[in-house]
Amino acid sequence: MNKHRFAILANEDKKNTAKWTRACERFNQNYIIIDMIDDNWIDNIHNYQPECCLIMPSVNLSYYKKMYDEKLYILSEVLNYFIYPSYVECIIYENKRLLSYYLKAHKIPHPKTYVFYDREKAQIFAANTKYPIVGKMNLGSSGAGIDILDNRNSVNNYIKKAFSKKGLKRRFGPNKKVGNPKQWTKKALRSPQFFINKIKSYIKDYNNNQKHFVIFQEYIPHEYEWRAVKIDGSFFAHKKLKVGNKASGTKEKIYDNPPLTLLNFARQLCEKYNYTSMSMDIFEDQEGNYLVNELQTIFGQSDKFQMLVDREPGRYVFQDGDWIFEKGYFNRNECFDLRLQHAINILEGNR
């Protein structure tokens, strides 16, 4: 393996570069960290002349997400730098409004989604839609900003908030469905500064309101949704279980053997649109059809593996028309090692 020059493009939270830096050091690669908030970001990239820019897009604050996407456009589409994952994968990441347009334009099966910038048209929709309906905020991971709305009154209140001065707000604080209050308290006592920083970040998130538009999505009855993952030629899948009325952000999983029909759906989607690193949250409707709920080029994983087949961790690869299961732990460093290996393969012409 040759040494290459990588530029890690940091978002507003510099700690988020740690997984990329860990991967670069493990593979003995040259790298620098570029602060994308810095006004000299283009000069810093030109001075280093990276062979590949490794991205870590913003996920919490809409103005940072917009900044990051705009700068990636310049790097990728104007200056022709190689970025990994790709520009398209990044701009549809954590942008549910744009993702809905993207899925519809490409005729990718997905729950029907409606975006309204006009309050009256949104209210007409509320008077005629089938309930329940899903209200989605444009930016928000781990189930943040997702509301299941059961009746017309709740939807009208939702619309009223969206078109008010305050707008829609996400939850304040950690995800109560997956956290443990005792553990939160212990962390706070062990590190008061960590606690203070967390409170500050929660306040920023909470105040990052959404105004002047709403996103509604058809509710698909489900007890789980599939999380299918593709990085280079590696495929994984597991079930995300529903807690309460949604599966997003619960971290509750079950590692049933994934059906090959699901893997084929994910593979065909990724091949058609040339995805490099993609997590696909997929519903299965009552007729057995697969529907894309989310596409996320960067994603987390709380366990040491993405998939179990007959209780063995591993991955699937598609070779000579057949799915081959390979045992092993391929989720090291939350898949950032696998991503970096893919980027190196592309640079060395071994894609």
Break the chain into its structural domains and give their ranges: 5-84, 112-170+209-219, 173-207, 224-342
Please give the pLDDT value at position 60.
78
86 DSSP β-pair partners: none
Alpha carbons 281 and 93: distance in angstroms, whole number: 12
Confidence band (pLDDT; 50, 70, 90) for 220?
very high
- Whether the per-residue pLDDT at 351 is higher than 60: the answer is no
Find the helix or strand (DSSP H, E) in which 187 lies: helix 181-190
Average pLDDT over the chain reads: 89
Please give the pLDDT value at position 188.
62
Please give the pLDDT value at position 248.
61
**How large is the C-alpha radius of gyration of the chain?**
21
Mean pLDDT (whole number) for 245-269 = 85
Find the helix or strand (DSSP H, E) in which 300 lies: none
Name which of 48-52, 132-136, 192-196, 265-269 the model is least confident about.
192-196
Confidence band (pLDDT; 50, 70, 90) for 247?
low
Pair of tokens at residue 19: 């997984």
Alpha carbons 229 and 267: distance in angstroms, whole number: 9
Please give the pLDDT value at position 54.
98
Residue 115 or 170, more confident: 115
Please give the pLDDT value at position 139.
83
% of the chain surpassing 90 pLDDT: 72
Please give the pLDDT value at position 276.
97
- What are 268-305's pLDDT values in tens digits? 999 999 999 999 999 999 898 999 999 999 998 888 89
What is the CATH T-level fold of the domain 112-170+209-219, as seen in this structure? Dna Ligase; domain 1 (3.30.1490)
Please give the pLDDT value at position 303.
87
Site of tokens 């390979």: 326
% of the chain surpassing 70 pLDDT: 85
Alpha carbons 330 and 306: distance in angstroms, whole number: 8
Asked if residue 348 lies in contact with residue 51, where contact means CB atoms within 8 angstroms, the answer is no
- Whether the per-residue pLDDT at 169 is higher than 80: the answer is no
Confidence band (pLDDT; 50, 70, 90) for 211?
confident
Please give the pLDDT value at position 198.
58
Please give the pLDDT value at position 15.
87
- Whether the per-residue pLDDT at 12 is higher than 60: the answer is yes
CATH number of the 224-342 domain: 3.30.470
- Whether the per-residue pLDDT at 162 is higher than 60: the answer is yes
Q: Whole-prediction pTM value? A: 0.87
- Best CATH choice for the domain 5-84 from the list 3.30.1360, 1.10.3470, 3.40.50, 3.30.160: 3.40.50
Please give the pLDDT value at position 13.
86
Alpha carbons 23 and 258: distance in angstroms, whole number: 28
- What are 122-152's pLDDT values in tens digits? 999 999 999 999 999 998 655 568 899 999 9
| Residue 63, phi then psi, degrees to nearest 5 | -70, -30
- Whether the per-residue pLDDT at 29 is higher than 90: the answer is yes
Mean pLDDT (whole number) for 165-179 = 65
